[in-house]
Amino acid sequence: QVQLAESGGGLVQAGGSLRLSCAASGRTFSSVGWFRQAPGKEREFVGTIGWSGSGSAINYAAFVKGRFTISRDNAKNTVYLQMNSLKPEVTAVYYCAASQLVVALQYYDYGYWGHGTQVTVSS
């Protein structure tokens, strides 16, 4: 089984930055995605990155608008979500997930999930 562990969340003031980490282990997978879920809202796609191969594409949700960056460190089996210029609207629990699909854009494309890390942006 694939195991995922998010870290790096916390409380940050508006305009600040956070870098979330997703450490992966276990069975091989083809891509890793980031999702977020705010209270009372559905889980929302943030972005995804291919795991195997250096040429794997990165896809972002439209709301990212260049403020979020997904990267990976294969040596550390870790995927990162760098979030800059944070606004209170970003507040949510952020999850990483692993998929057997090379390109996975929907939550149901992912079979493995971390437990999430809370991101809170204050005014």
Work out the widest C-alpha separation in the chain, in whole angstroms: 41
* CA separation for the pair 123, 109 (Å, rounded): 35
DSSP state letter for 68:
E
pLDDT at 54: 52
> In one letter, which amino acid is 22?
C
In order along its 123 residues, the chain shows pLDDT tens digits of: 889 999 999 999 999 999 999 999 987 889 999 999 999 999 999 999 998 765 678 999 999 888 999 999 988 999 999 999 999 999 999 999 999 998 899 999 999 999 999 999 999
Would you state the pLDDT for residue 26?
84
Alpha carbon distance 48, 107 (integer Å)? 11
| Length in residues, the chain | 123
Q: What is the pLDDT of residue 88?
A: 96
